[in-house]
Structures are given as structure tokens and as C-alpha cells.
Structure 1
Amino acid sequence: MSKQEPAASSTSVSSPSAASSSAQVTAMNDAGLAEADFARLSDVFARHLSTASGGMAFAVYRGGEPVVRLYGGTTSRCQAGQQPSAAWTPETLAVLFSGTKGLVATVAAILVDQGRLDVRAPVTEYWPEFSAGGKENVRVFHLLSHSVGLPYVDPEPEGEWGFLDNAANATALAAQVPLWIPGEKVAYHASTYGNLMNEVFLRVTGKSAGMLISELLATPLGLDVWLGLPEEQDDRVAATFKADDYAISTFLKDPERRKIVDRMYRAMLLTEKDVFNSVEMRRAEMAGGGAIGSADAMASLYSRIVDPGSGLVSASTLRDATQTWSEGLDTINDRPLRFGLGYELDDPIGTYGPVRPAFGHSGAGGGLHGAWPERGFGFSFLTNEMLAENKDSRVKDLLAVLADIDL
């Protein structure tokens, strides 16, 4: 039994909207939603699942307890006419991609509460070597808010799996010259966010991001989430795959900046190598996008972050972490961005649905994990089928229904 196994009082149903056996939905109305509201949410989930080639889960929690949970589809790609693989269940884990960054942001907030990390301090206070390349005035908040100007590693570490080597990447970044004066622009740091914060954590605590996620979040809260997956959990992980028309940076049209994007992503998403299903990635602590977990774990976590009674993050630290530290059009990708201290914040394109304020972090291919603090909800949409952002409405449709439900 997983740590998020359904309670005995949960209701399990199959949506009548499911178009095929692979689209059967296990729906759990844990908080006793009105039947019509529960059906609306289940039907939206089933509608998207009926056109899917994989699986997905959507979980909503409040105060660490489930409100509603939906699971369906398969744990590997299953196209028309193929025999379905294993069904997606509450036990299923999947790669969080950049949803990992929200875990790192939460660790940073806890270290602030513990008095061990000052986000306004110079990075060199913790990591003296980082002063090279004119970075002596860079603050920790520049790393967390994607405004430091180090969106890729130059030179890249050598070796087939060098991009997973945290120490080698941190060494290169410490010597690197930023692309702009830190703080003057914002651009998404897809993988270097993790390299930078992992090194700061090591310097502050002597422990890696993966160790701290286990120590401060997963173990005390009983969450199915890992950065550095143990071998005994491998059988639970859904196989990630890209839709045939999957694309990255769909807001970007400029061919010169596309070259920067290609450099940022080529080792992970623009390669023939099946990186995110590899043992190497599962064991590595890729703090920018390599965590593996369940939808229940992420929804539960965010619901506790915004629960004043949980004691996980203090109210003052959470206010600081979820105020705007950087915003504007991504100087590389042309996508509207708004960041707190490691958390994405609600933005002009409605990434977090129609409710504001909201925060959390999205992941490549469609995953989204976050909270609506004034409603006390934590939510998570997790999938193994990666869709391009401009063609993916799965989680937005679910959040639109959730926003309309009176709870």
C-alpha cells in the first residue's frame, strides 16, 4: 500500500464518458462533492483520456487530505489497436520534469525558516567560487527567480551523461559569465536552476537537494516523491513519451534565440536518447527536472504548504516566496513569466487556472502542481504523455471546473 492509498470511505467509479477501455476513469470523491460537480470533473478528465495514448492523474487535496482524485489510462504508450499496458493507479509514479523546481523552492523556504539560508545574501557568502565572471554581486534570489543570466552551461561537462553531473555543472557555472546583468532580465533556466540551487544547498547544509527533499518533505510527510529514485521503486514508474507533434518553446519564433533553446534542451529533450526513462536519470539528482513522484504526493504537499496549521513553511516566509521577484516576457522564449522564489506564480496566460493568487510549478509536456492559497487547495496533474503547450488544455480544463465548484 502506498502512502497515498485511498481511504476506505472513498468512492471508486468509472466515468460513463469513457470512450474506450483504455479511457476508464477511477474517480474518488473523498470530500463528498455534490454529485453533479463530481460528474463534471470526472467527465472532463474522461474526455481528455479518451484521446490519450498514455495515462494521467489529477488530485486535489486540502490540509493534507484528499478532496477528489482521478486516475486513468496506461503507464506506457498504447496506440489504437494495441493491447493496453498496465493501468494508471494511485500507486503510479511519473517523472515530474520541472515540477521538481517546486520541491526545490519548498526546501529553500524551509531553510529560510531555519535561519540557514538568506535569499537576499550574496551567493558568494555560501559559494565563494561563484564570484568569477563578474558574479560577485549575484544574490540567492537571482538564482531562484530565473534572473541570474545562466540559462545553459558553458562549457558543457564531458561524457555521455555529463549533463547529469551536478558537481561538474556547478563548477562550470561558477566560472561562467552571465548573458546579462543579473536581475535585469528574466529567462527560464530549465536545468541550471537545479545545478545552482543544489550547489547552494550543499554549501549551506552539506546535503544535496535529493537528500533534503527526502529529509524535509518526503519522509516526515509520508510522500511518494524522490529526487534520486531507489531501485525498488522502478516498477511503479510510468514510461514517459512525447506526442508525435511535441514541441518546446512554442511561443518562440526568432531563429537566433531558437539556437539558445536548442542548446538548453538538446541533452534532455532534443536527443534520440531516451533520457527520462533511463536508469541514469532516475538515480541522478537532477534538481531542475528529475524528480519522480505521484499526483497525490504533489497535491498533498502543496495543500500543506498553504495550510497555516501544518507548520511546514511559516506565513511570513511563504508571503516572501510567493511575491513577485521577476516577471515579463522570457528574454529567450517570449513566454510570459512571473516568478517568486523558485515558484511559478499565476500569469497572464492562465497557467494556474482562473483562481488567483496561485503558485506552484509546471513540468514539460503538461504536468502542473500547485496551490490556490485562499481556497486552501493543493492540486496536481501528472501524465506520461507529453503534449506541446500550445495544444494542451488538459489541466486548464480541469482547473476551470474545479474553480466553479463550491467547497
Structure 2
Amino acid sequence: MHTTPVDGTADPRFTAVRERFEQNFTERDEVGAAVAVFLNGRNVVDLWGGTADPATGAAWTADTLAPIASTTKAMASIAVLHLVEEGRLDLDRSVAEHWPAFGANGKDAITLRQVLSHRSGVVSLEHAPVTFEGLVEGGPVFDAIASATPQWTPGTAHGYHGVTFGHLLSAVVREVTGSTIGAYFAEAVARPLGLDCFIGLPEAELPRLAKLVVPNNVEEVMLGIGVPELAGLYAALADPGTLTFRAMYGSLQIGWESADDPRYSLVEAPSTDGTANARGLAKLFAATIGEVEGVRLFGPALAEQAGTVYASGRDEVLNIRTDWGLGFMVPGGPMVPASIPAGSFGHGGATGSFAFADPANGIAFGYTPNRGSELLEGNDLRVNDLVDAVYESLKP
């Protein structure tokens, strides 16, 4: 049987995580990846292996970075909650108090809490879809959000803010700090912790970036074959008249055909195009539930709110069940591995990445592959196997 060498370290208690990680290469078509786990602020798993660039055969190393797609939303949420902890933002004040232009077209009373829990209704930019040029300039995306109309009465329903989420938060952070969310995250969050996590990758870091590999079976992925829980999503994505299509494909003029273009990692795209390694993501989440190297990003009260269920049930955008906390996916629906307990919070991305924190058990987890996920937002068999192994390792 072909085996892929795995490098790094794992505490003997977490041998099962190393075994599952190795099995992902032999049984799950893993190309290159890294996984990391922190337990009570200590790094107990830090593994990597495989190929960072199939075209050149370059090996995945300890410092390889990967595109993380929507897991970037977690980085944006953490930056915002850091500002809430400092008293510079208030969850229950209207966004328009900080960003007056946002108040147009029925958005004047939308609160930051409603945005973070995907209940604001500001989900569609079909009137001015996001383009690469818009990302470079920044302003056109903010202007499109400011002129958007909510797709439901804010606070009365929930739906994934797949395209708008990070940009909306970035506009708020810019109004409060003078910096976009990528710049604020770099200075206030990543630098104190020494994180390899970026919302807008510095060009000097490009040589470390793994090459994204789009799944071979794209047709099966889009049809959602074998995944009944996602059938409603894929049916709606195939109909341009649905809110699902308008909020996702209709709001973003960038598709999988551009996913491996490094230009998108260089610009600030806080909904979709951050970069990180597993160690950086795990360390980031560890600092949300405890102190890491003298740094804690926000206190227990906000960590509890992050994992509190603010929205559950049919998602108006995804047309499936989703469960949302305060800026994060939370356990309950098909977006989160079943073994993750209530009170935890995290996020996944279409590149296969996934990260979360579990305050009750002191666990923080990060996973960064370069082969895109077969399922929505990273919750596929590879990450499920790894997460299951983490919890098996915690048993006496």
C-alpha cells in the first residue's frame, strides 16, 4: 500500500490523530495537508505531509500556507469580538451608528449581533457582484453592501452571509479603527500570537502558499450525490431564480476556475480568501478560550456567546438546516462534525479547511488541506475522521 510520509509531532495521547491523518492520504485522496490541536493552550498535535504543489512535486513543510476559503470568516469574527472585548464595538448597537451609509434601504436598525449570527438579511449583491477589481479597490464592495436591501426582515430569519459577511465586518472595523479588517487582524490578533494567518497575504509569503487542487469529481460534488442533508442546497443552486443562487453565485463573479490563482490570496477578501496553516488556526482558536503565550483574545463571557445558538433551522440562503453562533458555525446541522460538543464554535471552508474551539474540553483544532472539499464548507470525511480521533484521544 502506498504511504505518504507524515512529519511533525503528536503527543502519545493523540496517536489516533496521527493515524487518521495518515489514513487520509491512503484512503481519502489527500494531496497535501496539515493538522494541529491545542489542549489547554498547549500544542499537542502539529502534523503535516503530502505535496504542496502537484505540478512541481514540492513537499508540504512545517511552514506551508493554504487557502482556507470561508474559514476566513472565523478570523474576521475573532477580530470583531476582540474589538467588542475592548469596548470599541457593541454587539447590540446598530451597524449604521458606526457606518451611516449602511443604514439605507431598511438596514438602519440592523445590529452587529444580527450580522454575526447571519440574521441581518444582507446576503445578496446581485445588483453589483464582487469582482477581483472590486476586491483590489475595496470601496466598490463596501458600497454594494451599503446599497443592498435585506432579503427578509432583519432578525426574523437566518441565512448564510456567504459573500457579504467578511466585507460587512471589514467596513465596520474600518470605521472604528481606521484599518480594514485584514490590517487590524494582522496587527492586533496575529502579531501578538505569532500566527501564520492572513486576510490579505503579503506578496513575500507567496512562495509558502500551497497550490489548490479542485476535486476531481466536480459533477458529483455539485449534485450532492449521497448526501441527502444537502439535497435542498444543490437543487437551489441549480435554479438562478432562487435566493440561494442569487446570494452565492449571483453575488460573486469569481468561481472555482480562479480558485488556484494566487492573486486572490493577496487581496483582502475576508469572506472567502484568507490563508493560514493548521498550527496558526489552532493557536488562534486556543487564544479565544484561554491564555496562549500570555495572550487571550476575549474573555469567557464572549467565548460562551460565540458558541451560543442564535439561529437554528432552515437556512434561507442554503436551503438546508444550519446552526449559527456569534460569528461561527456551531454544532447541530450538517456543517459541523457530529462529534463536536455543544458550546463549541468554529468554521469551515470550501477548500476543505476547518477550525474550531471547544471551551469545555480546552480543545482548539485547525486543519488545512490543499484539495478542495467534496461537501459544503469543509465538513467532509477527512475532517470528520480527524475530529473523531481528537475526541477518542480525550477518553480515559
TM-score (norm 1): 0.85
Q: Which residue of 2 aligns with 1:47?
A: 23
Q: Which residue of 1 aligns with 2:54?
A: 77
In structure 2, distance between residues paired with 1:158 and 1:41: 39
Deviations 1:50-80 (CA, angstroms, capped at 9, x unpaired): 25262111110124431012211101236xx
Pairing 1:323-402 to 2, within 5 Å after superposition? 323-349=308-334, 351-357=336-342, 358-389=344-375, 392-402=380-390
In structure 1, distance between residues paired with 2:247 and 2:129: 18
Q: Which residue of 1 aligns with 2:227?
A: none
Is 1:55–1:385's contact at 8 Å kept on the other side of the alignment? yes
In structure 1, distance between residues paired with 2:177 and 2:351: 33
Specify whether residues 188 and 157 from structure 1 end up closer, same or farther in structure 2 by C-alpha distance, changes over 3 A only. closer
- Tell me the secondary structure at the aligned position of residue 194 of structure 1: helix
Residue 276 of structure 1 and its aligned partner are, at CA, apart by 4.3
Residue 241 of structure 1 and its aligned partner are, at CA, apart by 2.0
Specify whether residues 20 and 331 from structure 1 end up closer, same or farther in structure 2 by C-alpha distance, changes over 3 A only. same
Q: Which residue of 2 aligns with 1:174?
A: 146
Larger radius of gyration: 1
Is 2:123–2:247's contact at 8 Å kept on the other side of the alignment? no
- Tell me the secondary structure at the aligned position of residue 323 of structure 1: coil
Residue 327 of structure 1 and its aligned partner are, at CA, apart by 2.0
Unaligned runs of 5+ in 1: 1-18, 79-83
Residue 169 of structure 1 and its aligned partner are, at CA, apart by 1.2
In structure 2, which of residues 261, 267, 271 is the aligned counterpart of residue 288 of structure 1? 271
Over the matched positions of the two proteins, sequence identity in percent amounts to: 27
Is 2:339–2:388's contact at 8 Å kept on the other side of the alignment? yes
In structure 1, distance between residues paired with 2:74 and 2:90: 18
Pairing 1:5-404 to 2, within 5 Å after superposition? 19-20=1-2, 23-29=4-10, 31-33=11-13, 38=15, 40-50=16-26, 51-52=28-29, 54-77=31-54, 85-156=57-128, 161-163=133-135, 165-246=137-218, 247=221, 250=224, 251=230, 252=233, 253-254=235-236, 255=239, 256-257=241-242, 259-260=245-246, 263-264=249-250, 266-270=252-256, 272=257, 274-279=258-263, 281-307=264-290, 310-349=295-334, 351-357=336-342, 358-389=344-375, 392-404=380-392
- Tell me the secondary structure at the aligned position of residue 381 of structure 1: strand
Residue 196 of structure 1 and its aligned partner are, at CA, apart by 0.5
Residue 314 of structure 1 and its aligned partner are, at CA, apart by 1.1
- Tell me the secondary structure at the aligned position of residue 399 of structure 1: helix
In structure 2, distance between residues paired with 1:149 and 1:261: 10
Residue 141 of structure 1 and its aligned partner are, at CA, apart by 1.4
Residue 376 of structure 1 and its aligned partner are, at CA, apart by 0.6
Q: Which runs of 4+ in 1 moved over 4 A?
A: 157-160
In structure 1, distance between residues paired with 2:180 and 2:223: 30
In structure 2, distance between residues paired with 1:217 and 1:138: 26
Residue 170 of structure 1 and its aligned partner are, at CA, apart by 1.1
Cα RMSD after superposing both structures: 2.3
Decide which moves more: 202-211 or 42-51.
42-51
TM-score (norm 2): 0.88
Number of paired residues?
375
